[in-house]
């Protein structure tokens, strides 16, 4: 399993970033090799479509699972098309969330907010 998680800092003990499209980094954690790679979120400064572009980063890095606090409809649509499983983050660190997922204790996230289109910007 390769898990993607939006994070503010490159640190497994820090908290998950509540935002997805505007987060600083994505952590890609491979549960088999225990390897963690941080990838910069290039969508961060987009005026519109940040969620779509961020979701593209998740897809392109080959994740099959994502843990997030909330997601926009467009981002969710990209991830669902790529058959990526979406789980809802719990309070606690990145490590706590990975732990919880591996113990099958996370709920799936299936409630997505309407996109902020950066209208007129």
Residue in 56, 85, 88, 96 binding another protein, rule: CB under 8 A: 56
CB of 35 to another protein, least distance (A): 24
49 touching another protein, by CB under 8 A:
yes
Site for another protein in 19-48 (CB under 8 A): 43, 46, 48
Pairing, β 2-7 against β 65-68:
parallel
- Contact between 36 and 13 under an 8 Å Cβ cutoff? The reply is no
50 touching another protein, by CB under 8 A:
yes
Distances (CA, A) of 42 to 34, 51, 69: 25, 11, 19
| Nearer of residues 38 and 116 to another protein, judged by Cβ | 116
What's the DSSP call for residue 11? -
Q: Which region, left, alpha or beta, applies to residue 118 given φ > 0 means left and ψ of -120 to 50 means alpha?
A: left
Give the whole-angstrom CA distance, residue 18 versus residue 71: 9
Site for another protein in 70-89 (CB under 8 A): 74, 77-78, 81-82
Site residues (CB under 8 A) for another protein?
43, 46, 48-50, 52-53, 55-56, 59-60, 74, 77-78, 81-82, 114-115, 117, 119-121
């Amino acid at each position: 399993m390769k898990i993607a998680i939006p994070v503010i800092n490159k640190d497994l003990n820090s908290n998950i970033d509540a935002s997805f499209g505007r987060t600083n980094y994505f952590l890609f954690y491979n549960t088999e090799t225990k390897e963690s790679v941080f990838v910069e979120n290039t969508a961060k400064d987009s005026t519109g479509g940040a969620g779509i572009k961020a979701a593209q980063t998740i897809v392109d890095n080959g994740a099959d699972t994502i843990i997030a606090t909330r997601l926009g409809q467009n981002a969710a649509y990209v991830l669902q098309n790529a058959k990526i499983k979406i789980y809802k983050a719990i309070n606690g660190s990145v490590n706590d969330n990975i732990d919880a997922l591996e113990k099958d204790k996370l709920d799936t996230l299936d409630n997505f907010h309407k996109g902020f289109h950066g209208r007129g910007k």
